[in-house]
A and B are shown apart, each in its own frame.
Chain A
Amino acid sequence: MLDRVLIIDDEIHLTEVLAIRLRALGFDVDTATSGILGIERATGDPQPDVIILDVRMPEIDGFEVNARLKADPRTSGIPVIFLSANVQDTARQAALSAGAFAYLKKPYDAIDVIKHIRDASAAA
């Protein structure tokens, strides 16, 4: 059974294209178009094995989502991979310090993303 991946991104096209790619590879993919929805999905059943998280989102941003996930014992163990167009080193640093498994940049290299998902799942 391949991993269950939750993608949280307000850019619906991006969520979709990544979901297509991952499903084609056999992943079980769930998506959420906002931080709040993402957290709901993460705590729901079945829970994801890995979360792909965007940074810039309305309402609550990726950092806040990550913080809440880490603060919740139900979700704190799920590895989070940031996937962001924000390529600032400071943002990357902040994410890693907040416990992110990785910080990947958009545009991404799909192979790289998949590799990280597998690594994260193996590490979890």
Chain B
Amino acid sequence: MKNVSKSVIEDAQRIRDLALVAERTTNAVIITDVQRRVRWVNDGFTKITGYTFDEAIGRCPADFLQSEDTDPVTVQKLRESLNRGEGCRVEILNRGKDGRRYWLDMDIRPIHDAHGVVEGFIAVEMDVTEQVESRQRLAAAERRLRLTVEGADLGTWDWHIPSGKVVFNDRWCEILGYRPEEIEGHVRSWELVLHPEDQKDAEQHLQDHFDRKTDIYRFEHRLKHKDGSVVWVLDSGRVYEWSDRGEPVRMAGIHLDVTERRRAEERFELAATASVVGIWDRNLVTGTTYLSPRLYELLGHAKPEDRIEKLPSSLESLIHPEDREAQAEAEREHIDNGAAYEIELRLRTATGRYRWFQSRGEAVRNNDGDTIRMAGSLQDVHERKLLEISRAALAKIVETSEDAILSLDAHGRIRIANPGVTSMLGFQPGDLVGLPYQEILVDHDQSDALAKVLRGELDSMGGPLETRCRRQDGSEIEVSIAASPVCDENGSISGASMIVRDITDRREKVALQETTRELAELNQLLERQNHRLEDMTDRAHRFVDDVSHEFRTPLTVIKEYTSIILDGLGGEISSSQEDWLRIIDIATVDLNTMVEDFLDSSKLRSGRLRVERRRHDVATILGDIDRLLRRKAEANGIRLACVLADDLPQVFVDDEKARRVVVNLATNAIKFSPPDTEVRIEAVTNSQGDIEISICDQGAGISEADMHSLFERFQQLPNAMSPGVKGFGLGLNIARQLAWLNLGRLEVMNRPEGGACFRFTMPPAEPRVVVDRFFERLLECEDRPSNIGAIRITPTNPSYDLATMQRDVCSAIRPSDLCIEAVGKPGLLVFGPAGSASEWADRLGAEWAGDLGPSLRIGVVGDWEFDEDWRSAHREILELIGETVHA
């Protein structure tokens, strides 16, 4: 009993402890009756389910805790166990008061009464939601991985490094052609099939990973297939377990069979290397371009591996500027509208020269449909392109040729004819097709050589055949025919080409040449005669020189002795003696003037009169004149007045020539004036800026009829005043020419108040004015339309022919120092001092003989004072003319 009570006390104690556990545990504890109605729940229950003791009491937990999500199998198992009065343990998904699903690990045990009869159940429930869910996630992940591995045909391996044991999956073995049972689960199974050449690299890759240099071991290598072939695998894995000492313990990874890809790559490389095609691949996003080695070779670069030069990094930079737009357009068309990308363009090669290439390509798009790459091929089509171009050019030549070009078949029938047949023979090209070529020939026999060419008996006709062709309208023309056989690819003659040329013109040309030759002979004859004539002229001029020289000495003797007697050096003379001596003196002066005129006229005619233009004061020129003419004027009863305007500028003249003009004109005026009248010499600046000297008399003036011929040589005016006074009639002619040589003009007019007035001009010593006067001279000389265009001058006499021109210009140039020389370079004009007058004249003659361009060279011979003023005038004139020439 004591034991019983002790046991009872102990039991009570135990029950209290248990009750305490039941109350305090975080697990839910539920006690039900045999009908499974809740008799008691603890706080843990409320925490998990949300239901309070009062809410749970008397209710069956299955009714309010289970839901449609609860596994019916579990419910069934639970129900059966409880029905049998047995306990059970299940995982069950329940729903809390707030609707939350939670997993419970439920342990239900029956409660027996003293008689062993089940009187209820006690359930201890633990919330295992987290565990269950993570287990489920894991399972799902494993399932996914398995599916992935299987679906991707991945071989897997799991390697225990210390033991060398490896778990390979079936696929791993299958990749190598083995059944799983044929592969030992050891790392040496891999080592055995590893390609010897990859062994070292494999070790290195693994070691790098073991040394934690790489995050992932990744190595593409070759394995030996069971059938002996090579299998390429992409091997990748990582150590997932390390020892405490940092040594790798377990490592897992996969094998992906990449043999096909590698083969494709190899084939590609092989193709790319072996083919004549270069490959390009341009990434439009990154802007980088891959160019295959072969492509570099096509562009004339050394192989990329040689790396001896900087290689172009893109094709775009090499495109010929003229082709860039077309290329960009083709690319746009391809990307935007799907047109085939195929273009022929020129690319700059390593030598810097361009070659023709054909580029074909395709756009590569991403999932969004955006073009991200363009890849394609490049082929050298240079030779073909050049051939095409030259063929096109040839075709153009054939099309536009004036010759008739025919293609004949092996039987001599016309296959093709060019448009040349129309213009030459009047046939349309189509009219002739199918006809035997003899149809167009007038004389068939002559075609023998042609026939032989066609039969292949002759390689060529041995020079063109000259014969006649029949035109469509029945007329005939002279032609030359050249023919050569055309061979097919087997070398047998398939026809001939025939070129028919109209030689009517040529025959005419031959005739023309003949005429030209005769003319040349005639010309030579003329030249010889010309030379003789020149010789004679020279002799005549020399004769004049000699005569005038011989005249001068006695003239000087007479003049000087008269002079010393008049001056009283020989003693006193009577007044009548003095008058007579003055008559001798004046006659001597007249005679001397005539000799001078004679000589000057001769020089002017032959162009041997030199001009030395310099700066001079007008007063100096006129000062001597007064003295020279005073005596003569007095003798004629004429008043001589010499008036100079104030502030006359200097003139640019040959002073002696200028003086001669005044003397000539004044002598004339004195000669033609009635006694007791005035001859007035006046110098002023005129409106053109030239210095104008006028010599006016108070005589009868000059008749209308005389006005025109006044300045001609040997023209004598009737002299009412002194009928006995005569000259050669050269004076006015010489005066006008001398005025001209001084870059001036000599004019005459009758004064309204009576009397004649001669005026001549001289340029002031102003460079621009002098240059202007030169150009006015050009204006008078130039007859060549091209030259006129060049300096915009118009000939005063359009009817001048070249010969007249040459003679006049040359004669003008020799005395006037002005040269016009045509030179080869357009627009070049030289204006300045040059060589001797005769040298210029020679050049001028020589160059005028040829047909020269529109440019001129203007040289000025003489004493130019090339100070800064003149140089700048020179520059200005060059600019002026330069502009005009280019206008």
Contact = CB atoms under 8 A, between A and B. Distances in A.
A14 B560 contact: yes
14 contacts: A11-B553, A11-B557, A17-B557, A17-B560, A86-B549, A87-B552, A87-B599, A88-B545, A89-B609, A90-B610, A105-B552, A106-B553, A106-B555, A110-B560
Contacts of B556: 14, 85, 106-108
A109 B628 contact: yes
Nearest to A105: B552
Contacts of A74: none
A20 B553 contact: no
Contacts of B428: none
Given A14-B556, A106-B555, A107-B560, 6 more contacts: A21-B563, A24-B569, A56-B549, A89-B608, A105-B552, A109-B628
B548 A87 contact: yes
Given A89-B610, A109-B628, A17 B553 contact: no
A18 interface: yes
Nearest to B589: A107
Given A13-B557, A85-B556, A89-B610, A21 B549 contact: no
Contacts of B561: 13, 17
A14 B553 contact: yes
Interface string A1-45: 000000000010110011011001000000000000000000000
Contacts of A24: 564, 567, 569
A41 to B, nearest CB: 22
B179 to A, nearest CB: 126
A24 B596 CA distance: 30
Interface string B559-588: 111011001010000000000000000001
Nearest to A18: B560
Interface string B619-632: 00000000110000
Interface in B593-621: 596, 599, 608-610
B592 interface: yes
A89 B814 CA distance: 13
A106 B595 CA distance: 12
A106 B592 CA distance: 10
Interface in A34-85: 56, 85
Interface of B: 545, 548-550, 552-553, 555-557, 559-561, 563-564, 567, 569, 588, 592, 596, 599, 608-610, 627-628
A56 to B, nearest CB: 7
A84 to B, nearest CB: 9
B569 A20 contact: yes
Contacts of B555: 106-107
B620 to A, nearest CB: 13
B552 A106 contact: yes
A107 B592 contact: yes
Top 5 nearest A-B pairs (CB, nearest first) are A85-B552, A89-B610, A107-B556, A17-B560, A106-B556
Contacts of B608: 89
A12 to B, nearest CB: 10
Contacts of B553: 11, 14, 85, 106
A21 B599 contact: no
Most buried by B among A11, A13, A18: A13
A27 B174 CA distance: 146
Contacts of B596: 87
A108 B610 CA distance: 20
Interface in A71-124: 85-90, 93, 105-111
A20 to B, nearest CB: 6
B593 to A, nearest CB: 11
A21 B552 contact: no
A93 B559 CA distance: 26
A108 B609 CA distance: 20
Nearest to A13: B557
A105 B559 CA distance: 13
B563 A110 contact: yes
B77 to A, nearest CB: 149
A89 B837 CA distance: 13
A63 to B, nearest CB: 15
Contacts of A86: 549
Contacts of A20: 564, 569
Contacts of A88: 545
A59 to B, nearest CB: 18
Contact of A21 (B545, B557, B560, B592): B560
A107 B553 CA distance: 7
A11 B628 CA distance: 25
Contact of B557 (A14, A90, A109): A14
B550 to A, nearest CB: 8
A119 B548 CA distance: 29
A4 B567 CA distance: 22
Contacts of A11: 553, 557
Given A85-B552, A88-B545, A21 B569 contact: yes
B628 A85 contact: no
A93 B569 CA distance: 35
Nearest to B558: A107
B722 to A, nearest CB: 22
Contacts of A56: 549
A55 B137 CA distance: 140
B320 to A, nearest CB: 67
Contacts of B549: 56, 85-87
Contacts of B550: 85
Contacts of B564: 17, 20-21, 24
B629 to A, nearest CB: 12
Nearest to A23: B569
A107 B596 CA distance: 10
Contacts of B560: 14, 17-18, 21, 107-108, 110
Nearest to B608: A89
A62 B708 CA distance: 46
A96 B549 CA distance: 20
Contacts of B545: 88
Given A14-B553, A85-B553, A107 B559 contact: yes
Contacts of A93: 610
A108 B560 CA distance: 8
Contacts of B609: 89
A14 B563 CA distance: 13
Contacts of A17: 557, 560-561, 564
A17 B627 CA distance: 21
A89 B563 CA distance: 27
A82 to B, nearest CB: 14
A15 B552 CA distance: 15
Nearest to A12: B557
A111 B548 CA distance: 23
Contacts of A90: 610
Q: Which of A13, A14, A17, A88 counts the most chain B CB atoms within 10 A?
A: A17
Contacts of B548: 87
Nearest to A25: B569
A111 B569 CA distance: 15
A88 B628 CA distance: 22
Nearest to A11: B553
A110 B557 CA distance: 12
A87 B549 CA distance: 8
B459 to A, nearest CB: 72
A123 B560 CA distance: 27
A12 B563 CA distance: 17
A106 B558 CA distance: 12
A85 B555 CA distance: 10
A38 B24 CA distance: 169
Nearest to B588: A107
Nearest to B551: A85
Contacts of A111: 627
A3 B63 CA distance: 170
Nearest to A10: B553
Contacts of B552: 85, 87, 105-107
Contacts of B557: 11, 13-14, 17
Q: In the complex, which of the residues B552, B555, B560, B627 has the most CB atoms of chain A within 10 Å of its own CB atom?
A: B560
Nearest to A110: B563
